[in-house]
Structure 1
Amino acid sequence: MRRRRQKEHVGEAIPLSSLRGGRFPMAVLVQTLAVAEYLSFHRAALALGVSQSSVSARIKALEEDLGIVLFDRNTRGVRLTEAGRCFVDQVGEAMGILDRAIKIAGMQARGEAGELRIGVHALTPGCFLDRLLERFHIDHPGIRLQVAEGTAREAQFMIREGRLDVAFGACMHETPDLSSRVIWRDRLMAAMPVEHSLASQPVIDWDQLVDETFLVCYSGTGPQVHDLIVARAAGKWLTPTIQRLDVERSTLLSMIANGHGISIFAKEGAADSTANVAFRPIRDEPETIPFSAIWSPSNRAPALLKLLALAKNMR
């Protein structure tokens, strides 16, 4: 019967489902791999620090349970049977998968691997957020950064739904169910065509902009820019003309360069500008603009905590 069952298994895959559910102890599988490597029960036992009789008895019981002979034994040593070689190959592959799973799980638990989903209003070369993500990637190369652009409102929804781990944006206000922290601050700059009459001045004031047409995006920091312009005009002069646009930052800059209007940017955003756009600081702007991180207080992912710690240190 054993010979017939062994013959049926020759060259066929041994179902690894039998390895799951605890049918075979892990120890006997490790010992089988060791005997297959050393082709000696004695040397395998020495390498594992167990008795030769224990190894021999366990593998014998395994063979009886499987109904196949894994090793041919003789006075000169042992060798794998064809069925044994098939079994050992599969067990080795399964053990490799298990070993990788354990290592990856450990790395994720320590914040050394995995994925971090980040919402941003925009990324410009050299800005604080760009430097932060670059530094984090250098320090933690095993963590994939998934970056999505959107408005602060969209980011908050995605955090609540678990689709983002953290979002960075301008003027984010605290909400009862989310955690937030100011990460960095920046000055406001007015962006205008280089031919604009105000472009010749080193600094400008808000009241010099009341007759201008402001171009503001729907996305990114557009909503915050819109509210800021309205707030600065309140009680002083009529709200300037504000044109809302469904465009990206690069298109907005091109429209400014071509004379369609002006806009407001953070100082860091001026670094990546077009050749025909002038940025001038606003002298009577009362305060710098805060840029905050916002995340769910229930999210204690190690990678997120490391990013927040790095942002605090870089600030």
Structure 2
Amino acid sequence: MRRSAGRRSELPPAQPILSARIPMTSLIQMLTVAEYLNFRHAATALGISQSSVSARIRALEDELGVQLFERNTRGVRLTIAGRHFTEQVRASIDQLDHAVKTVGMIACGEQGALRIGIHAILPGGFLDLLLERFSREYNNIRLHIVEGTARDTQLQVREGKLDIAFAGGIYELPDLHTRAIWRDRVMVALPATHSLAEGKDVVWSQLAEETFLVRYGGNGPQVQNLIAARSEGRWPMPAILRLNVGRVSLLSMIARGHGISLFAEENAAIAPPGVVFLPLRDELEPVALSAVWSPSNRNPALKNLLHLAAELNRGASRTDPASRQPVLSSRRAARPICSP
């Protein structure tokens, strides 16, 4: 017999194995009977009558068209089909239970991922302490850290590639939320051989003829703006040498006597031998570390990070005079209330 070209054999549509008419109660009772292998004991464990359990199991078998239990005067036992079915149902219910718990944790910001943009993390600095504590208290949140300049990370926040970016300085961005989460004193980093290095502090006028080393990246633009603002109308702009180097290399150049620079006080912890950090007595405005995020971001883990940053900042009002590092409370941070 000749077949027509392109003709496909018609098969009946696939039928679902488990009818939507089977209630979850029937499956729970079936699993209980499978556990006790006794209708009376299963009914007692469920707190219902034995006849109710027997009737529901019979209805389930009729719906499936399969005998799940073999009944006799000594009790019941699972058939081969019944054993396979109970194993599959038990695994499915465990998976459903896990899904219910997981979705609740995600909604509360206790599970999921958080994408963070930074320009650097100083060991023992505020951002280092914040992320370490967040990882400890929300250990089911995966942190994805991306390094970049303030401009680059803020662009990625706008594009939805990052949940939050941290950068030095105060920002007024009409399309993004910003918040200063930490403030620290401005310090001048000098070579240990510098004539001012023996003093307790310095003033801006003493730095008017110095050469400032300023990075292109990181907080370099903010440092340059601060030098220009403090010089304007008072003395000629100091010499500024812009360098495409990292923070550690910049400190090494200062140690070798190539110039001076400005840093937040927490950077003193990583200063190499040969570098002295002194406060600027007439610089009353501290340097800020700001968080930047999109107002459309609905990641609950982001809210928890900001909440923890605020809690850590309040606790940092108590400082260790020797290290100037925040004194962290040993108590667990109060969790924000998770609304359904």
Look up the SS of the partner of 1:92 in the other structure: helix
Paired residue for 2:42? 44
5+ residue gaps, structure 2, are: 1-13, 314-340
- Trace 1:159-178 onto structure 2 (pairs within 5 A): 159-178=157-176
1:282 aligns with 2:280: yes
- How far apart are 1:85 and its partner, in Å? 1.8
Write out per-residue CA displacement over residues 269-292 of structure 1, whole angstroms, 9 at most, x where no aligned residue. Answer: 112222222112122324212222
TM-score (norm 1): 0.83
Paired residue for 1:303? 301
Look up the SS of the partner of 2:253 in the other structure: helix
Letter in 2 for 1:209: L
Letter in 1 for 2:179: R
Write out per-residue CA displacement over residues 238-294 of structure 1, whole angstroms, 9 at most, x where no aligned residue. Answer: 433333333332232223323333221101111222222211212232421222222
- Trace 1:65-84 onto structure 2 (pairs within 5 A): 65-84=63-82
Look up the SS of the partner of 1:198 in the other structure: coil
Write out per-residue CA displacement over residues 147-172 of structure 1, whole angstroms, 9 at most, x where no aligned residue. Answer: 33322222222222223222222213
Deviates more, 1:300-309 or 1:76-85: 300-309
Write out per-residue CA displacement over residues 190-244 of structure 1, whole angstroms, 9 at most, x where no aligned residue. Answer: 1132223332232223333344333333332222223222333333344333333
- How far apart are 1:189 and its partner, in Å? 1.0
Question: Could you tell me which of 221, 224, 245 is aligned with 1:223?
Answer: 221
- How far apart are 1:23 and its partner, in Å? 5.7
Letter in 2 for 1:179: H
- Trace 1:193-208 onto structure 2 (pairs within 5 A): 193-208=191-206
- Trace 1:221-260 onto structure 2 (pairs within 5 A): 221-260=219-258
- How far apart are 1:102 and its partner, in Å? 0.8
| Count of residues paired in the alignment | 299
- How far apart are 1:50 and its partner, in Å? 3.4
Paired residue for 1:6? none
Question: Could you tell me which of 117, 128, 131 is aligned with 2:129?
Answer: 131
Q: Alpha carbon RMSD of aligned pairs, Å?
A: 2.6
Q: Is the 8 A contact 1:152 1:172 kept in 2?
A: no
Letter in 1 for 2:218: G
- How far apart are 1:188 and its partner, in Å? 0.8
Aligned counterparts of 1:136 and 1:199: Cα–Cα separation in 2: 38
Aligned counterparts of 2:246 and 2:25: Cα–Cα separation in 1: 60
Aligned counterparts of 2:174 and 2:279: Cα–Cα separation in 1: 34
Over 3 Å counting, the alpha-carbon distance change for 1:201 and 1:94 in structure 2 is same
Aligned counterparts of 2:298 and 2:280: Cα–Cα separation in 1: 40
The answer to which structure has the higher helix fraction is 1
Look up the SS of the partner of 1:72 in the other structure: strand
Q: Is the 8 A contact 1:179 1:295 kept in 2?
A: yes
Letter in 2 for 1:265: F
Letter in 1 for 2:169: C
Look up the SS of the partner of 1:220 in the other structure: coil
Aligned counterparts of 1:222 and 1:278: Cα–Cα separation in 2: 19
Aligned counterparts of 2:117 and 2:60: Cα–Cα separation in 1: 53
Q: Is the 8 A contact 1:212 1:241 kept in 2?
A: yes
Aligned counterparts of 1:63 and 1:246: Cα–Cα separation in 2: 75
Deviates more, 1:226-235 or 1:26-35: 226-235
Over 3 Å counting, the alpha-carbon distance change for 1:190 and 1:85 in structure 2 is same
Aligned counterparts of 1:278 and 1:53: Cα–Cα separation in 2: 86
Q: Is the 8 A contact 1:188 1:281 kept in 2?
A: yes
Aligned counterparts of 1:30 and 1:219: Cα–Cα separation in 2: 61
Paired residue for 2:317? none
- Trace 1:99-118 onto structure 2 (pairs within 5 A): 99-118=97-116
Look up the SS of the partner of 1:200 in the other structure: coil
- How far apart are 1:130 and its partner, in Å? 2.5
Aligned counterparts of 2:216 and 2:38: Cα–Cα separation in 1: 72
Paired residue for 1:8? none
Moved over 6 A (4+): none
5+ residue gaps, structure 1, are: 1-14
Aligned counterparts of 1:230 and 1:208: Cα–Cα separation in 2: 15
Look up the SS of the partner of 2:193 in the other structure: coil
Over 3 Å counting, the alpha-carbon distance change for 1:79 and 1:176 in structure 2 is same
Aligned counterparts of 1:172 and 1:22: Cα–Cα separation in 2: 57
Deviates more, 1:33-42 or 1:118-127: 118-127
